[in-house]
A = this chain, B = another copy of it.
Amino acid sequence: MFVEMAAYPNNVVAGELGAGLKVLERIRVVLVEPSHPGNIGGAARALKVMGLSDLAVVNPQRFPDPQAEWRAAGAQDVLTSTTVHETLDEAIADCHWVVGASTRQRRIPWPLMSAEEIAREAINRQSSAPNNRIAILFGREANGLTNDELQKCHCHLRIPAHPDYPSLNLAMAVQVVSYELFKQASGGQPVADVWDRAPATAEQVEGLMTHLENVLISIGFLDPANPGQSLTRLRRLFNRIQPDETEVQMLRGVLNHLGKGNSGPN
């Protein structure tokens, strides 16, 4: 199946996307009592690749730690600016909308959205109130956020996952949510490289088909009196491929050589 090639953000530099991505600066990811420093580093990297930079940790078991640095890879800056807090209240004190990741249904249900819905809502909120700050909380590796912590949230967040084993690794969960935030902030443009050649016109493709038909007859593959379905199938094949100009020229070059070969040596 052919992929439509539109002009695309591949060529876009950070500056051009900048306005949209600016909202990501005011979204804080808060890890509550993470046990493994590797997950703090993994989260830092997950944030940075998606244009986020505000990471807070509440009561980490080990941090700073070489494991965190190793997993952060190119996101040492995010790790260095990570704030460490003794309480969750302190970590979210200046935030206007607080979201908590939750995997279980609560006894008293709370407003709940998927990662995609949270991202859309967060970006909408930041667009209409750009000075607001949003916090997204992720709980302990083993048992998530407590009920008390979840009750501090305006909304709960769930990452869709298979009901048999919906337990994402902590840093992975941060990655998925950051990815959804980036997608929303960057406007969800479709991804496509700029194609390097213009698509062939209908006339150019028709020329190729006629050329091909003539060669197939001349080499004895096609009987013009009884062509069967081969031409239709070839026509469908080339319509499906949607060749570009250079590809059509190249294929006609091949057909020219075949024609010559068939009519004897030059």
Query: In which size bucket is the chain A interface?
Result: 35 or more
Question: Are B112 and A193 closer than 8 Å at their CB atoms?
Answer: yes
A176 partner residues in chain B, CB cutoff 8 A: 175-176, 179
A106 partner residues in chain B, CB cutoff 8 A: 193
| CB contact list, A141-179 vs B, under 8 A | 155, 158-169, 171-172, 175-176, 179
> Given A160-B191, A190-B114, are A169 and B21 neighbors across the interface (CB < 8 Å)?
no
> Given A167-B49, A175-B176, A186-B160, are A3 and B112 neighbors across the interface (CB < 8 Å)?
yes
> Given A109-B194, A113-B191, A195-B109, are A162 and B3 neighbors across the interface (CB < 8 Å)?
no
Question: Are A163 and B12 closer than 8 Å at their CB atoms?
Answer: yes
Q: How far is the CA of A55 from the CA of B234 in the complex (A)?
A: 36
Chain A 17-52, CB-CB to B under 8 Å as 1, else 0, gives 100010000000000000000000010011011110
A121 CB within 8 Å of chain B: yes
A48 partner residues in chain B, CB cutoff 8 A: 162, 165
Question: Are B175 and A160 closer than 8 Å at their CB atoms?
Answer: no
A202 partner residues in chain B, CB cutoff 8 A: none
A75 partner residues in chain B, CB cutoff 8 A: 165
Chain A 188-231, CB-CB to B under 8 Å as 1, else 0, gives 01111111100000000000000000000000000000000000
Residue with the highest number of chain B CB atoms closer than 10 Å, among A49, A110, A114: A49
Question: Are A108 and B196 closer than 8 Å at their CB atoms?
Answer: yes
Question: Are A162 and B14 closer than 8 Å at their CB atoms?
Answer: yes
Given contacts A5-B112, A105-B193, A179-B179, 18 further A-B contacts (CB under 8 A): A3-B112, A5-B109, A42-B169, A42-B172, A45-B168, A45-B172, A46-B168, A49-B165, A49-B168, A49-B172, A73-B169, A106-B193, A112-B193, A114-B191, A160-B179, A160-B182, A160-B189, A168-B175
List 22 A-B residue pairs with CB atoms under 8 Å apart, sorted by A's residue number.
Answer: A1-B121, A3-B155, A17-B163, A21-B162, A45-B168, A45-B172, A46-B172, A48-B165, A49-B162, A49-B166, A71-B169, A73-B167, A74-B165, A74-B167, A106-B193, A112-B191, A113-B191, A117-B191, A160-B179, A160-B182, A176-B179, A179-B179
